[in-house]
Structure 1
């Protein structure tokens, strides 16, 4: 328990991350599950709250689309259904088109102006939906 609490003291973690850490440090699967249940009961571990906080921080630093956010949450051990639910809710509130514009603007601040094909490729890499990309590129290339 002490080992897990010290591990959680540095950063927010998912249940899967704590479990993997405990198993790697020599805890038995039964011990790891007991510690996880105890930490969850104390509200030190909550994957739903973790996912919401993580997405909000990630979008503030580096705007990206739903697909990329979901993939990164899955890589951190968040269940697929939970990653889908939280990502859809947070991105819907944030407006994906606005996120895509911010993502391109962030890259263009460094003095680069992307051609439409480059912008499409970047937005796809960042996990934006095709409809969003088409609207952004169309609006971007219209004369003002």
Structure 2
């Protein structure tokens, strides 16, 4: 079909999406846009489409779809900017669409790396304790800058020890059928996987086992 006959033929309610209108192009379903966006873009039945106009409308539809996808992801849990952008790209949205969506969400306060770091640190401390090194590594993997990480994740040896001790004591209840050496090894392995330092692990083992594990019989060496 020639560009001269490339036109919007109908704008009708979308049966599958009550919050969207279906735009038909040359008699076939083409795009879905909100009524507000259609009004803002002045989309009209009978409009002849240039390649530039067609690309603009397709971009607008993709942005609306990506915003919905982003909000669904954020409804599950807070996410860092880099993490959210990565997930949108994985869903097939183009970089230009992702960048516009991130700008909109940032302006609305839906994404905020500083707030995300505070959430993540609090969540880890209360439900899934981590050593400082592991916590920092997790945040870096989510695209958080070193500056924000250093501001939020400060090293407190006693706090890290308390978190590791509570985790070990909770885990120990599942190990009562094992001998002491096996219990120690299991506790050490758990704390090591959670990123606690060896100095913290040594203190925890001595505390948990009431001083029965001395330096000479500590299961694993530094």
TM category, shorter: 0.7 to 0.9
Larger strand share, 1 or 2: 2
For the aligned residue pairs, the C-alpha RMSD in angstroms reads: 2.6
State the match for 2:120 in structure 1: 54
Gaps of 5+ in 1: none
Query: Post-superposition shift, 1:80?
Result: 4.1
Task: Provide the C-alpha distance between the structure 2 equivalents of 1:128 and 1:135, rounded to a whole number of angstroms.
Answer: 11
Runs of 4+ deviating beyond 4 Å:
none
State the match for 1:128 in structure 2: 196
Task: Look up the SS of the partner of 2:153 in the other structure.
Answer: helix
State the match for 1:138 in structure 2: 206
Query: Post-superposition shift, 1:24?
Result: 2.5
State the match for 1:119 in structure 2: 187
TM-score by length of 2: 0.54
Does the Cα contact within 8 Å between 1:47 and 1:78 map onto a contact in 2? Answer: yes
Flag the structure with more relative contact order, 1 or 2, with Cα contacts below 8 A and sequence separation at least 6: 1
Greater gyration radius: 2
Does the Cα contact within 8 Å between 1:64 and 1:103 map onto a contact in 2? Answer: no
State the match for 2:161 in structure 1: 97
Query: Map of 1:1-144 to 2, 5 A cutoff?
Result: 1-88=67-154, 92=156, 95-112=159-176, 115=181, 116-140=184-208, 141-142=210-211
Does the Cα contact within 8 Å between 1:63 and 1:99 map onto a contact in 2? Answer: yes
Gaps of 5+ in 2: 1-66, 213-222
Instruction: Count residues with an aligned counterpart.
Output: 141
Query: Post-superposition shift, 1:84?
Result: 4.0
